[in-house]
Amino acid sequence: RHVADFQLSIASVTEDSSSNCLAQDLQLRAQKLAERLRCDAVVSEISAGQGTVNFTINRELLAKTVLQQVLKDGSEYGVKSELFSTVPRQKVVIEFSSPNIAKKFHIGHLRSTIVGNFIANLKVALGHEVTRINYLGDWGMQFGLLGVGFQQFGDKEKLKSSPLQHLFEVYVQINKAAEDENTKKLAKDFFRKMEEHDEQTLSLWKQFRDFSIEEYIRIYKRLGVHFDEYSGESFYQEKSQEVLKMLEDKGLLQKTTKGTGIVDLSEKKDLSSFSTVMRSDGTSLYITRQFLIVFFRDLAAAIDRMNKHSWDTMIYVTDKSQSNHFQHLFQILKLMGYDWAERCQHVSFGLVQGMKTRRGEVVFLEDVLNEVRSRMLQNMASAKTTKEIEDPMETAEKVGLAALIIQDFRGLLSSDYQFSWDRALQSRGDTGVFLQYTHARLHSLEQMHGSEQLIDVNVACLQEPDAISVLQHLLRYDEVLYRSSQDLQPKHIVSYLLTLSHLAAVAHKTLPVKGSAPELAQARLRLFHAARLVLANGMKLLGITPVTQM
């Protein structure tokens, strides 16, 4: 079946509105136009379709141009396209992951981590200067409780060897006693001392923070994620007071009859929309449910980052339950006179239901990584096609992570979805396992036939429909990157890579390298090499490390 490379819809270029134009009329116009147009060195065929004019590109030119471009640009293929030529290079700050020390690293944090990492990878690939910030929940009353708990149940050795787990256990233990008046008082005293810069309590708090960050870094590394800055709520406890004063000085802070502090966000200044920012007893009010981020600290952090990084865009990646919070945050910054608030962006995502490990509910990120690795190892062991591979543990982890990421990125980020291990880890169908399998298969094809390919391969012989389908698809990669760069949705890249893998799998069957004439074999190898390069590039953008054996 012959598929045209480009199509022009006649309705889109006719003067009169399409409703007056009958299908026959459009058909006639298409035929007339097709007859008047001439082929040239680039366009080899022009024909009329259903109200369209279809153009076919010279097949030799298509093969030569695409394969040359992929080989020449390598990892920058698609990014060097003229689609991006007018895009200004920017400084971008991205805040993502942001777990709370001593609390569960829940599935929302995992989603924030992989989505933020994808956005950062994409921005870097497009030539922007990116700062990745992890804004930890590392301050607040819960540290008073944790401090007291550690004095009672803590173990210095366990804190060093497995800080996240130990602090979580201590926190759970002390929480059982949290209703006890004496414990409450001790916790309040501990936190008050922290706020007053008492050396002893701060030194213990600092150990909690430092050991936790060390372990986070190690676990993020398994995910293929890194941060340029580990910030946190603790950085802004004093600066938030300055923000409060600025709000008061600018007359933006109003008190209700009950003494609650509010900022009027309505256009008519009639309090039809407002944000509560302070309790009547003067303490900051947590107005976000999910990551108890204090409002003033977020304001202070945004202002501080502008002073420090002079960014052009700042992106926050959190779940959609915080949309209101960020809307208010940006509005208040604007009211304070910071016009750059318009360049702040909240990328929100939906909720994931049903992710459990064999041990039950997800408590630590490491639980998820270990689970995905062990399930994948099991699948690999039971698969008949699995060859002996050098490092099965590492391969299982990379393939398993690809499965997690693809299941997460297939739909719109804002959609909620039901998580399923079985569906994610299927080897057939549109999964991360299938992408990894395709990459490994193409890689071994190159290994088998010598990847030191001839310099001057004549690719003009790639005329079969299955070869053309792969070439046409490779040609479209830049458009897909452009779409994802516009709306920051990974799904465009995911569906592109899945289609590429399906097309490559078909071509692998119908276009054998082994047993073909040398010139044809070399041309086909070049085609498969280009497909593997683009597949690998796209996978890396999504945060997946391609494997070469499976």
Q: How far is residue 356's CA from residue 420's CA, in Å, rounded to a whole number?
A: 9
Binned at pLDDT 50, 70 and 90, residue 211 comes out as very high
In sequence order, which residues have a C-beta less than 8 Å from that of residue 47 and are 6 or more positions away?
4, 34, 53, 54, 56
DSSP 492-525: HHHHHHHHHHHHHHHHHHHS-STTS-HHHHHHHH
Quick: pLDDT tens for 359-405: 777 778 888 899 999 999 998 888 765 567 888 999 999 999 999 99
Class assignment of domain 91-251+293-353?
alpha beta
CB 39 within 8 A of CB 452: no
Residue extents of the structural domains in the chain: 6-57, 62-87+368-542, 91-251+293-353
pLDDT average, residue stretch 152-178: 92
- Look at residues 205, 269, 204 and name the one whose alpha carbon lies nearest to residue 237: 205
Among 106, 123, 128, 325, the one annotated catalytic: 106
Q: How far is residue 84's CA from residue 225's CA, in Å, rounded to a whole number?
A: 26
Domain 62-87+368-542, what fold? Isoleucyl-tRNA Synthetase; Domain 1 (1.10.730)
The pLDDT, as a whole number, for residue 23 is: 76
Percent of the chain with pLDDT over 90: 69
pLDDT average, residue stretch 321-349: 93
Q: Which of 196-210, 361-375, 442-456 has the lowest mean pLDDT?
A: 442-456
Q: Residue 103: is its pLDDT beyond 90?
A: no
Q: How far is residue 395's CA from residue 545's CA, in Å, rounded to a whole number?
A: 10
Q: How far is residue 451's CA from residue 142's CA, in Å, rounded to a whole number?
A: 58
CB 163 within 8 A of CB 99: no
Paired residues of 232 in beta bridges: 136
Residue 48: its H or E element: strand 43-48
Pairing of strands 43-48, 229-232: unpaired
Residues in the chain: 550
Tokens (6 digits) for 158: 């366990």
Binned at pLDDT 50, 70 and 90, residue 353 comes out as confident
Query: Residue 322 to residues 190, 287, 505: CA-CA distances in angstroms?
Result: 30, 9, 42
Pairing of strands 356-357, 360-361: antiparallel
The pLDDT, as a whole number, for residue 250 is: 85
- In one letter, which amino acid is 61? L
The pLDDT, as a whole number, for residue 510 is: 97
pLDDT average, residue stretch 103-125: 93
The pLDDT, as a whole number, for residue 293 is: 37
Quick: pLDDT tens for 148-163: 999 999 999 999 999 9
Tokens (6 digits) for 148: 């007291």
Q: How far is residue 65's CA from residue 68's CA, in Å, rounded to a whole number?
A: 5
- Look at residues 98, 73, 519, 5 and name the one whose alpha carbon lies nearest to residue 297: 98
- Reduce the DSSP state of residue 133 to 3 states and report it: strand
- Look at residues 323, 289, 512 and name the one whose alpha carbon lies nearest to residue 413: 323
The pLDDT, as a whole number, for residue 289 is: 26
Burial of 453 (0-12, 13-18, 19+ CB in 10 A): middle
Q: How far is residue 462's CA from residue 495's CA, in Å, rounded to a whole number?
A: 25
Q: Which of 172-181, 225-234, 403-412, 486-495 has the lowest mean pLDDT?
A: 172-181
Q: What is the largest distance, in Å, between two alpha-carbon atoms of the chain? A: 91
pLDDT average, residue stretch 35-39: 94
Which of 96 and 452 is assigned the larger pLDDT?
A: 96
Q: Is 166 a catalytic residue?
A: no
Quick: pLDDT tens for 271-309: 555 555 554 444 443 332 223 335 788 999 999 999 999
Which of 129 and 268 is assigned the larger pLDDT?
A: 129
Query: Within a 10 A sphere around the Cβ of 337, how many other Cβ atoms?
Result: 10
pLDDT average, residue stretch 92-97: 98
Binned at pLDDT 50, 70 and 90, residue 355 comes out as confident
pLDDT average, residue stretch 328-350: 94
Rounded to the nearest integer, the mean pLDDT of the chain is 89
- Look at residues 541, 539, 526 and name the one whose alpha carbon lies nearest to residue 69: 526
The pLDDT, as a whole number, for residue 452 is: 56
Query: Residue 539 to residues 26, 296, 395, 421: CA-CA distances in angstroms?
Result: 42, 38, 15, 20
Binned at pLDDT 50, 70 and 90, residue 257 comes out as low
Q: Residue 500: is its pLDDT beyond 90?
A: yes
- Look at residues 100, 123, 99 and name the one whose alpha carbon lies nearest to residue 111: 99
Using the CB atoms, write b or e for 513-547: b if 16+ within 10 Å. beeeeeeebbbbbbbbbbbbbbbbbbbebbbbebb
- Reduce the DSSP state of residue 421 to 3 states and report it: helix
Among 64, 80, 109, 356, the one annotated catalytic: 109
Tokens (6 digits) for 212: 């936790």
Q: Residue 17: is its pLDDT beyond 70?
A: no
- In one letter, which amino acid is 133? I
Tokens (6 digits) for 538: 């796209």
- Reduce the DSSP state of residue 264 to 3 states and report it: strand
Residue with tokens 């920017």: 90
CB 348 within 8 A of CB 362: no
The pLDDT, as a whole number, for residue 287 is: 34
Binned at pLDDT 50, 70 and 90, residue 357 comes out as confident
Q: Residue 232: is its pLDDT beyond 60?
A: yes
Q: Is 176 a catalytic residue?
A: no
Which of 107 and 37 is assigned the larger pLDDT?
A: 37
Q: Is 502 a catalytic residue?
A: no
- In one letter, which amino acid is 203? S
Quick: pLDDT tens for 423-446: 899 888 899 999 999 999 999 999
The pLDDT, as a whole number, for residue 388 is: 74
The pLDDT, as a whole number, for residue 81 is: 94
Paired residues of 7 in beta bridges: 54
The pLDDT, as a whole number, for residue 453 is: 57
Among 103, 104, 346, 473, the one annotated catalytic: 103
Domains 62-87+368-542 and 91-251+293-353 share a fold: no
CB 315 within 8 A of CB 92: yes
Q: Which of 24-38, 130-144, 299-313, 360-374 has the lowest mean pLDDT?
A: 360-374
- In one letter, which amino acid is 244? L
Q: Residue 457: is its pLDDT beyond 90?
A: no
